[in-house]
Amino acid sequence: MPLKLSLQSNGPGRGLLLVQGQSQPVESVNLALRRNDGQYLGRDGAWQPTAFWHPQFGVQPGSEGMQIELGAALMDPIVALHGQPLLLTLRLDDHEDSGVPRIRGALIGSDAAPLTKTVLVKRPQPPVAEEQQATPPTEQQKPPQQVPAKATPPAPRSRWVLLGAVLVLSLIGGGLGTAWSLGWLDAWIALLPGGAAQEQSTRFSPAPDSALTGRAFATELLAGSPSAERLLSAAEARLQAGDCDAALILYARAVDTDATLGVQVARRYDPASFTAGGCIDQPNEDIALGYLRTAAEAGVPAAMQRVGELLIERADSGPVYDEGRMWLQRARAAESETR
């Protein structure tokens, strides 16, 4: 049965892999990591054409399933992929299953600087001279009382002050209108507190003629927190341009942002809809199934239908077949509700 996996950061260079539904005790745990191009992660972080098994010893049960603590030898290469799809094969004793781990949050490499506590040191204050006790003045020391002079009434406010304020406001209003007509107002708003963040999140994107490619392009685009639709559109454009690294990263991030987009991304890997000649060298049913599961769990009927079909094709009976039937039943129920 395909594994339901999720991966999250557990500190710089460390991760926590959750194998959902796995609660049986095991004696040995090994895993292999494969990229979309068929390369496997080797011993020293290098990618190689043959499978390599990484033994894991930090295994413990959890409320949702088995938890496996991953070290920097695995996390750093995963972080370097910047969200590209990754097929993980898990060998529990003598049984093997595969799945595409879903990334939860941001992963942190071992080269990230640890957070340091800021300690506030109180500077010693200079010694304060002892106050001399004041003695009340004697009769001879008391100064003669002076009769206060009559306060002069304040001069009436001049009407010129009011007229000046009106003139200033008129100049400001005229300046804003001119700035708006010339297109300067957006730049001024971006400089205001909160304005830059809003401008960046709503309109930020690399220029169409940007020379950036690959991870640099994806990193600059992701810095503006774009919408899932914007990520998917950018991934399609990068795919057409032959920028495979950026396209695969943006596809994965689009699904992380909106799980319902998993159907569209899965078509790139599904053997039934795979198109040769693009950035994806060959169809990968496991990766397609991972994206389809994500969309199916988000309530997409088409994803439920395809997950059921793939699982039933893999087995004639047993838990895989039963799960496939379950997804097909959910798909029919969801379609009947929409009618």
| From 66-75, 155-164, 299-308, the region with the lowest mean pLDDT | 155-164
Confidence check: pLDDT of 214 > 70: yes
Q: How confident is the model at residue 310 (pLDDT cuts 50, 70, 90)?
A: very high
- Residues of the chain with pLDDT > 90, as a percent, come to 22
State the pLDDT at residue 116.
47
State the pLDDT at residue 4.
84
**Helical (H) or strand (E) element with 5:** strand 5-9
By the 8 A CB rule, do 16 and 69 touch? yes
| From 85-94, 126-135, 223-232, 328-337, the region with the lowest mean pLDDT | 126-135
| DSSP for 13-54, written as a single string | T-EEEEEET--S--S-EEEEEEETTS-EE-TTS-EESS---E
Q: How confident is the model at residue 131 (pLDDT cuts 50, 70, 90)?
A: very low
Average pLDDT, integer, range 54-79: 88
Confidence check: pLDDT of 303 > 90: yes
Distance CA 331, CA 301 (A): 5
**Helical (H) or strand (E) element with 308:** helix 301-314
pLDDT digits (tens, 9 = 90+) for 6-47: 888 888 888 999 998 777 788 889 999 988 778 899 988 899
Average pLDDT, integer, range 241-249: 87
Confidence check: pLDDT of 149 > 90: no
State the pLDDT at residue 143.
52
Distance CA 36, CA 102 (A): 15
State the pLDDT at residue 326.
92
**Helical (H) or strand (E) element with 102:** strand 102-104
Domains and CATH numbers, the chain: 5-104 (2.60.40), 276-339 (no CATH)
**Helical (H) or strand (E) element with 86:** strand 86-92
What is the model's pTM? 0.56
